[in-house]
């Protein structure tokens, strides 16, 4: 495999994307071929979008970017998936951190010769059985895109994908607790959380308090926890990343 596409759905938080990409592309995935990044940046958050593109450009000579005027998760996935060209692709949302190195050839081997469309990294505990589709950081066959089809803009993409696919399209890969969810810590530091009943589709200025994010009374403790967590994430990165 000479090149593989990487799909990333992001919001305006370059400090999170930097850690995520460092964990994958600076030593976390050993033997990774040349990558082409397909990057959607939805308009939420105070971060600099140019900084986000610059981070992606460190790791890929080709970065395909979309910066929509309005946020819609389904639209982001539809656009990104429509640009996938490689037989396999890496789907990576912007807030996952890889805690230890994995071997790319082993990851691909978990898909080749099997009926599975997707191999995902283990988040909590190892499961030996096949499972439904997941947006957790994963390596997938391009065929999954055709199987899911166009996602309606008023649907949650992950839930819609599960309705279109069999219940055994995914297999876990790697050791337990392989991933860290940085997004929750970031949200706490921003005094926000995913709102109850949210459809997770739109994240813009108008829906911060009544939609994708709701208020969280985390205060100083939330910010302190985020800073502490960043130090932990950085320490894990330094154990395996290239200089």
Instruction: State the pLDDT at residue 56.
Output: 98
Mean pLDDT to the nearest integer, 54-71: 95
The residue among 132 and 189 whose pLDDT is bigger is 132
* pLDDT, tens only, 71-128: 888 999 999 999 999 999 999 999 999 999 999 999 999 998 788 999 999 877 766 6
Q: Number of C-alpha atoms within 13 angstroms, CB side, residue 34?
A: 6
pLDDT surpasses 70 at 53? yes
Q: What is the mean pLDDT of the chain?
A: 86
User: Mapping DSSP to helix (H, G, I), strand (E, B) and coil, where does residue 170 land?
Assistant: strand
What residue ranges define each of the domains in the chain, with the CATH number in brackets?
3-180 (3.90.550.10), 182-237 (no CATH)
pTM here is: 0.88
Query: Helices 14-25 & 49-59, crossing angle to 10 degrees?
Result: 10
Q: Which of 65, 72, 78, 123 is nearest to 97 (CA)?
A: 123
Instruction: State the pLDDT at residue 199.
Output: 39
pLDDT surpasses 90 at 10? yes
* pLDDT, tens only, 171-205: 999 888 889 888 877 777 766 655 443 434 344 44
Long-range contacts of 112-115 (CB under 8 A, 24+ apart): 114/171, 115/168
Instruction: State the pLDDT at residue 205.
Output: 46
For residue 203 the two structure tokens come to 């994240």
* pLDDT, tens only, 140-149: 999 999 999 9
Long-range contacts of 110-118 (CB under 8 A, 24+ apart): 110/139, 110/171, 110/173, 111/139, 111/140, 111/141, 114/171, 115/168, 116/168, 116/169, 116/170, 116/171, 117/141, 117/143, 117/144, 117/147, 117/165, 117/169, 117/170, 118/144, 118/169, 118/170, 118/171
Return d(Cα 52, Cα 41) in angstroms, integer.
Answer: 8
* pLDDT, tens only, 202-225: 444 444 443 344 444 556 677 888
């Amino acid at each position: 495999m000479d090149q593989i596409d990487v799909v990333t759905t992001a919001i305006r938080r370059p400090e999170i994307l930097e850690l995520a990409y460092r964990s994958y592309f600076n030593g976390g995935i050993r033997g990774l071929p040349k990558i082409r990044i397909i990057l959607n940046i939805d308009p939420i958050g105070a971060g600099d979008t140019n900084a986000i593109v610059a981070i992606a450009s460190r790791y890929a000579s080709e970065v395909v970017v979309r910066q929509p005027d309005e946020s819609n998760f389904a639209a982001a996935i539809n656009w990104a998936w429509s640009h996938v060209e490689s037989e396999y692709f890496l789907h990576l949302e912007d807030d996952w951190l890889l805690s230890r190195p994995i071997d790319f050839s082993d990851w691909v081997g978990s898909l080749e010769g099997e009926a599975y469309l997707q191999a995902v990294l283990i988040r909590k505990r190892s499961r030996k059985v096949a499972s439904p589709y997941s947006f957790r950081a994963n390596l997938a066959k391009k065929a999954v895109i055709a199987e899911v089809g166009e996602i309606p803009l008023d649907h949650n993409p992950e839930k819609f994908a599960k309705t279109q696919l069999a219940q055994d399209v995914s297999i876990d890969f790697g050791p337990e607790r392989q991933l860290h969810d940085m997004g929750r810590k970031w949200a706490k530091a921003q005094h926000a959380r995913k709102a109850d009943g949210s459809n997770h589709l739109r994240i813009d200025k108008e829906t911060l308090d009544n939609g994708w994010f709701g208020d969280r009374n985390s205060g100083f403790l939330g910010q302190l926890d985020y800073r502490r967590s960043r130090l932990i994430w950085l320490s894990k990165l330094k154990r395996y990343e290239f200089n």
